[in-house]
Amino acid sequence: MSVSKKVPIIQVKHLIYERNGEHIINRFSFDIQAGDYVGIIGPNGGGKTTLLKLLLGLLKPHHGTIQLLGGSPMQASVRKQVGYVAQRGGNIDTQFPATVLEVIRSGRTPRLGLFGHMQEKDEKAIKHAIKEMGIESLLDRPLYKLSGGERQKVLLARALVGEPKILFLDEPVDGLDPASRDDFYALLRKLNKDGLTIILVSHDVHTVAKEANAAICLKHQLVCHGNKACMIGEDELKDLFHKDRKEILLHHDT
Angle 36-129-173 from CA coordinates, rounded to 5° = 60
Going along the chain from its start, the domains and CATH numbers come out as 7-81+165-177+189-254 (3.40.50.300), 93-163 (no CATH)
Read off the pLDDT of residues 144-179 as tens digits, 9 standing for 90 and up.
Answer: 889 889 999 999 999 999 999 999 999 998 888 899
Residue 5's DSSP bridge partners are none
- Asked if pLDDT for residue 119 goes beyond 60, the answer is yes
Mean local confidence (pLDDT), 227-242? 53
pLDDT at 250 (0 to 100): 41
pLDDT at 2 (0 to 100): 43
CB 197 within 8 A of CB 163: no
CB 31 within 8 A of CB 207: no
Q: 194 or 97: which carries more pLDDT confidence?
A: 194
Q: Given pLDDT bands bounded at 50, 70 and 90, which one contains residue 5?
A: low
Read off the pLDDT of residues 128-147 as tens digits, 9 standing for 90 and up.
Answer: 999 999 999 999 999 888 98
